Amino acid sequence: MRRQLVGQNGPASPANRLFNWLSSWQADYAADLASQLSSHVLIMDEVDGMAGNEDRGGMQELIAVIKTSRVPIICLCNDRQSPKVRSLANYCLDLRFHRPRMEQIKAAVLSLACRESVTIGNHVLEGIIAASNQDMRQVINSVQMWCTDGTAADKEISLGAAGAQKNLRLGPFDVILIAAPLSESENSLTCSLNGCLQ
């Protein structure tokens, strides 16, 4: 894109201070508007956290800035279904990214490990990826932690990965599948719900 990045973390800076900063930033470049604004982009990270107590009215301020700004604004969020983000989505192009598959993460981490001269077994890496719920950052951090000197054994890594499981939010259907797993032969619940809860 060849644009200069200007970023602010949404929840880290209260809305009024953030938008005062943005207004002053735009005013500083108003004299040379055509050349300056065409080479900038504003990245707002964690906009789903902007509607907290200290950021009251932050989402409406952001929408007002999007309506009037000549600078492209990229808004990033983790929880797209949040009611706070729904009003913002009407003023944005909604691009959704899906969690990478295990094979994609495994290929990237094995390539990284090869460049760092670290050998790690496929089954161990799959265990780390499954334990982190396919979170790329946590996988890289786990591999880095267990291979800091490059001599960690696969058994040590797999034992460590089992203890580094990521906390997840489970929906009602996920809980049912954990509490009463499906039998593979009958494709039905192996026990009644009351039996599984006891």
Q: Domains, the chain, ranges and CATH?
A: 4-89 (3.40.50.300), 102-163 (1.10.8.60), 169-198 (no CATH)
What pTM does this model have? Answer: 0.51
Strand partners, 43: 7, 74
- Please, which residues have CB within 8 angstroms of residue 20's CB and are 6 or more apart in sequence? none
Q: What is the mean pLDDT of each run of 10 residues along the chain (198 residues)?
A: 55 61 64 58 83 72 87 86 85 87 92 86 87 87 75 55 59 71 53 54
